[in-house]
Structure 1
Amino acid sequence: MPASPCINLTTEDKQTLLALARQTLVDYFIPQQSDIESQTQDALLSRHAGCFVTLFLDGKLCGCMGDIEGSRPLSKSIPELARCSAFKDNRFLPLLASQMERLTVELSVLSPLSPLKIRDEDALLRYLAEHPYGVVLSDAFHRSVYLPQVWEQLPQPDEFIRELKRKGGWASDHWSDDMQVELFTVEHFRE
């Protein structure tokens, strides 16, 4: 069972992190001397945690990028992921300055990844039917991740895993003895 989220964020912490992501995008279009990092608690932004920045335009997904490892402090990963979500998610057109007023930012801060030892895909599906966590599938050549929020769109474990495999470049019916499964929880929040 995954650990609880590694960062217990207060309402103020969440507002600070959302402001950092938004200010990064504002600064891209109108460069200015943003002082948001120096105004925040160093302890919060220096923490290492996996994180995803998801952008919505008029309520519709328009960009999402993440770092599941948490190898960098939030002060570095959130701005970079905000820019990548806005301008480098190949599924969507790059964000325009004129769209900023209609943009909503969502952040997902991940718990550490927990490996799940399972025998086969059926065992995974049975486990996920009771425990709808975020999932990372990987083998020697591919890796794919879905946040726990994806369960809202794909509520059936077989559908969730089938689409996760497609996203990772596997055939939807692929399974091998090399497949590794890691689970995680998130704290997600939006403007």
Structure 2
Amino acid sequence: MTHILLKLARKSIEGSFDGTIPEAETEIKEKFSKVTPCFVCLTKNGKIRGISGNLKANKEIFREVIEHSIKSAFHDKNFSPLKKEELSAIKIELFILNSLEQAEFDSIDELLNKINQGLSGVAIEKGYHSANFLPKVWEEISDKDEFLSVLCEKAGLPDNEWKKSGMKFWIYTTKSLRE
């Protein structure tokens, strides 16, 4: 059975094609009213087709799902907007954040020990540069050093910048729902 938030995500994308964004039903509003951050990831043939989300939510989870479903389908700058004929090939995955904690550490080894390979999402920030990898990225990058190096590159920083002082790290876990 498809989770109710996944159904809401799909209806939001489908409705965008004809301008009828669904209003969440009362049951959804009541059950999913907690302000919770999430990411919506669209895949097509096993490859990412769009993604959108926030590490810090500012609205109820059902509203976050609607907003990020639409953004992942039509406003991800890395992809062209979704076409209606692609809908049947798209799979939706939701990542609901369970926790987000800034990592405190005294050494690189201590930082690496705090990151649970395969389970941890990691966000970094240094100056005006920031980037985030969901736990799903471990499916493609299985080495912690490489994971953090590629994350730095995503942020527009040199790949070894994570080993230098001044970098802030946040570590989190997610609950994943997928079609």
Q: What TM-score does the superposition give when structure 1 sets the normalisation length?
A: 0.84
Among 144, 151, 157, which residue is 2:144 paired with?
A: 157
Which residue of structure 1 lines up, in the alignment, with residue 131 of structure 2? Answer: 144
Among 50, 60, 84, which residue is 1:73 paired with?
A: 60
Q: Which amino acid aligns with 1:183?
A: I
Distance in 2, Cα, partners of 1:67 & 1:103: 21
Distance in 2, Cα, partners of 1:94 & 1:67: 20
SS in 2 for 1:68: coil
Which residue of structure 2 lines up, in the alignment, with residue 7 of structure 1? Answer: none
Using the aligned pairs only, state the percent identity: 28
Does the 8 Å contact 2:124/2:167 carry over to 1? yes
Alpha-carbon distance change, 77 to 131 in structure 1, aligned in 2, over 3 angstroms:
closer
Does the 8 Å contact 1:50/1:112 carry over to 2? no
Alpha-carbon distance change, 112 to 127 in structure 1, aligned in 2, over 3 angstroms:
closer
Q: Which amino acid aligns with 1:137?
A: I
Which residue of structure 2 lines up, in the alignment, with residue 62 of structure 1? Answer: 49
Q: How many residues align?
A: 178
Q: CA RMSD in A?
A: 2.1
Q: Structure 2: which 5+ residue stretches go unaligned?
A: none
**Higher RCO by CA contacts (8 Å cutoff, separation 6 or greater):** 1
Alpha-carbon distance change, 32 to 66 in structure 1, aligned in 2, over 3 angstroms:
closer
Within a 5 Å distance, the mapping from 1:108-147 to structure 2 comes to 108-128=95-115, 132-147=119-134
Distance in 1, Cα, partners of 2:71 & 2:56: 17
Alpha-carbon distance change, 27 to 116 in structure 1, aligned in 2, over 3 angstroms:
same
Q: Structure 1: which 5+ residue stretches go unaligned?
A: 1-10
Shift of 1:157: 0.3
Q: What TM-score does the superposition give when structure 2 sets the normalisation length?
A: 0.89
SS in 1 for 2:99: coil
Within a 5 Å distance, the mapping from 1:3-152 to structure 2 comes to 15-32=3-20, 34-35=22-23, 37-128=24-115, 132-152=119-139
